[in-house]
Every structure is written in structure tokens, then in C-alpha cells.
Structure 1
């Protein structure tokens, strides 16, 4: 059954939002985040202190999309107030790994005794720090922080060896407010 759906996201104090032809920019004390919200049947509007999502005569598809848009906007508002933090644990049992960050490059040397270092380039919006045997990834954008942490974990994937014996690598232990381990 078709019905009119309206959902609102209330902005906290110190957070501002600007909408410019589908590009929503949210600014806060810790930074700013941008994201494109384009859908032909969903209208976005920014009023004083709130963001309104409207869809006239919507079906269940538009209801799902509006709910997804609302959650994305809520994550953006949370991120500009308090950045999202992901933590990874460095585990090396067989060969001592050398982990370093230079600019936007994350480099692992001597992973399982390999001669060629493993290297990824992460997004410039993410901030990666190495603190002893922990890697801390922070960003105001939840997707950027999660993608960076996932890329670091994936680059340490072990193939052609028994995973029960070779447990070396970098593993996510804390995801944006939730402890995994």
C-alpha cells in the first residue's frame, strides 16, 4: 500500500548541515563529512536543526531506502562529533613483522619471512597510528575507517599454509564502539 513517509534526523548543538543538489555536507567540531543522496522519489531538505527525508506515495522499496539514508545521516552526525575508532592487533609468532606508516601508505615488512614488503595506500581521510602491537584507525567517516581497517586485515591474509599453525597477521579487535574479541 502506498503511503507518505517522512523521517527526520535532529542535529545536535554545534553540528551544521548544508544540502547542495544532492550533496549533503555535515560539519561539526571534529571535521566534516560529505555524501551524495540522490533518488528520484525521495526528497531531502535541511531546516534549522534537522534534516527531513520525504517520499510521497512510497512503496516498501522507498521505505527501505529512506531508512538507509536516515542511518547514513545519523552516522555522519555521530562521526563529526566523535570520530569512529577501529583497533587492530598485530600478531606475529613465526617471523617478527615490521609495521610502518608513511604518509598514506601502510607497509608490512618481513611478513612470514617474505622478501617483498606488503603495502596498501589508504584514504587520506583516515588516520592510522601504530601503538606498540596495536594499530588504531580513526576517521569521521565510518565507511572510510571500516574500509581502511578491513584493507589492513585483508592484506595480511595467508594462503597455501595451515591457518591453525600460521596465525600471523593483523586482526580487528575493536569496531566503532564494539569489542570483537
Structure 2
């Protein structure tokens, strides 16, 4: 791809959402909360706020800069949707024999998983700031306004119960079976409102 002389992309800001841009820091405020991101890694891109829109511009843009503008536009759109509607990730606790106990330690910002595959030790997963986790029987519900933080917290919970290598054995000694499927798996992504 040849260099584009001028690239411009606009993101509409809806009513009830307030956006402020300071340098390369974008702050979005809405009815559900505030999300702030530092986008200083985008060196060749100018970010401005004008007439109820966020404008992303780049001059003499190569392929990487052209792609980065689209990525930043998506990040800003996700921030706006987050403060308007919020994000909810639903996860299911799956076990065959040993029932897992999942608890939320809000003081330390951890999800504690006990009795995973009958083990005595506890498995922990970190909860990112601004994310709420609650346990409802066999469901773990992760909610928040920042999509990246909510998704990363859900990934931390899934990775904590993921079996790797030789741990992922076949039950009953048969080959070619599905292996042990115990864990916590994501099954739905939706908005809070």
C-alpha cells in the first residue's frame, strides 16, 4: 500500500456522554461511570474533540499508521458503549466429579477457586480495577464499563483453571477422548443495560 497523504476518521459522541482529550489521553464520562485511556503509543496520530465528535487524523500515513487509526477508533467506540451500556461477561463453572468452590475476595482483588480437580491448594485469578465479579451458583458474572478490563479479568479466571501439557490427560485411560473438561468457561457476552 502506498502512503496515504491524509487519513481522517471520526467517532460520534452520543447525547449524555462527555468526552475530553488532553494530549493523547482520552477520558469518557457517562451514566455508568468513567473510562480513561492513554493512547500515547500512537505517535503519528492527532486526537482532537470537535463538534460532538472525536477526530483522528494522520498525515503521510503508512500501512501501520492507517491500521492504528482504525484500532484507536474502535477503542474509543468501546469506551463510549461501556459508559453508556456497560459490559457483562458470563462464565460457567464446569466440573465432572469434584465440585469447585468459587469465591470473590474483594479486599485483595482476587477470585479464589477451591477444590479444583480435588486439589487441596487454592487457585487464584486477579480482578482488574473497576471490575465487579459475583458468583451465582455455577455462574461467574464479570461486569464493568471498561471492555479491556472486563475481558482481561474473564481471561484471568479462565486461565487459572486451564490445564496445560501432561495435566490435560484423558480420563479412564482411553486415548483420543476429550480429556478433562473441568474449568470455568465463557458462554455469553452482553451489555448491562
Fold conserved between structures, TM > 0.5: yes
Match of 1:145 among 139, 147, 150: 150
What is the match of residue 186 of structure 2?
172
Q: Does 1:116 align with 2:121?
A: yes
Residues 125-144 of structure 1 show CA distances to partners (whole Å, capped at 9, x for unaligned) of: 11101111111101111111
**Contact 1:3–1:59, Cα closer than 8 Å, also in 2:** no
**Contact 1:99–1:108, Cα closer than 8 Å, also in 2:** yes
Which residues in structure 2 correspond to 1:1-181 (within 5 Å)? 1=2, 2-38=4-40, 39-103=42-106, 104-159=109-164, 160=167, 161-162=169-170, 164-176=178-190
Measure the CA separation in 2 of the matches of 1:16 and 1:37: 18
SS at match of 2:35: strand
SS at match of 1:64: helix
Measure the CA separation in 2 of the matches of 1:96 and 1:41: 52
Task: Spell out structure 1 runs of 4+ moving beyond 6 A.
Answer: none
Q: Give the count of matched residue pairs.
A: 177
Alignment RMSD (CA, Å): 1.5
Segment drifting more, 40-49 vs 78-87: 40-49
